[in-house]
Chains A and B, each alone.
Chain A
Amino acid sequence: MIQMTHVFKTYPSHISALSDINLEVSAGEFIFITGPSGSGKTTLLHILFCAEKPTSGEVIVNGIHITQKGLKRIYQLRRKMGIVFQDFKLLQDRTVGENIAFALEVTGHVRKEVKKKVSEILGRVGLQERKEDSVLSLSAGEKQRVAIARALVNDPPLLLADEPTGNLDDPITLEVMEIFKDLHHRGTTIVFATQDIDLIQRYPYRVVYLLNGRKVNGSA
């Protein structure tokens, strides 16, 4: 699903964010990317969804060479992945249902289909009753569930999560993790960036440890 070969990322101020990263993620795999703040976790995810270009190296995601030029390739790639952020990135002036529908609308789904898919996905994340509520009225855990629902509504084979539990307390974190676990069982490939070592230890998934932009020896 993901293949990163000798990937470097250096910012114009000569700060090295990633250095010689080689990583392979198989289809259906769940992988944790961890490391302290500034270790390069977010940069790595940004490269995977083309928010940043690597300085050098090759990256193939879902069969698409993202290091090659072409705008079309970028939005086609993004349509085949879901992305979940720590700050949720929900539209504050819309309802729960509208936020999820947005992901379908921007990819050209017809209204009838949007309605059906939104109801289905809300059922999966346990928010069916809150469809018409403003996102402003939700708790942090509920907001993250909406964000996950929005990322999943297009049935992407790959889900990238950047510190999705960073703003949540323990019981809510576990609730959200249950959703990720369920997705994994359904066959979705998940790349999960987190600093939470306790969380990582609770699950039997592969862990890649980054330090100063490098993969630490011994991590998978």
Chain B
Amino acid sequence: MNADFNIDSILARYNFDSSALIQILSDAQDKYGYLPREVLEDISQKIEVPLSKMWGVISFYALFKLKPPAKYNITVCQGTACHVSGAKRNLDYIESKLNLKAGEHSPDGKYSLETVACIGSCALAPTIVINGKVYGRNTVKTIDKLLSGLEEGEKNE
């Protein structure tokens, strides 16, 4: 067991209670950015839930990730208010700009593109979330600015 993947403090938070599986997984994901296999095996043993059962839970919920996150995670909200304000068009535009489909990671690990059902910031539709920060009232113009901002940041590093 890799020492980096010590999960005990999270498990202790929930008294090793198997009914808190979803909380444990989401805390683990917060810690590592995704759910590494070693971590899952460790959790499985310690709270006595078979890995197969855990897989059933992980694959059921959209927020669990089995791949390490990209450097910039772009999430395009597809809520109803965003949809009627052009979210689909914005997604199409970003997909072709980054040459990525929703759900994919770019090969260099720089970008990942996702959609979300609704983040509840409907009054600012259409919204885009980049690494947790919400940007509202997006148009092609603001998207260009956001994307080139990310590129700029890259160069300055």
Q: A and B, one complex? A: no
* A residues apposed to B, CB below 8 Å: none
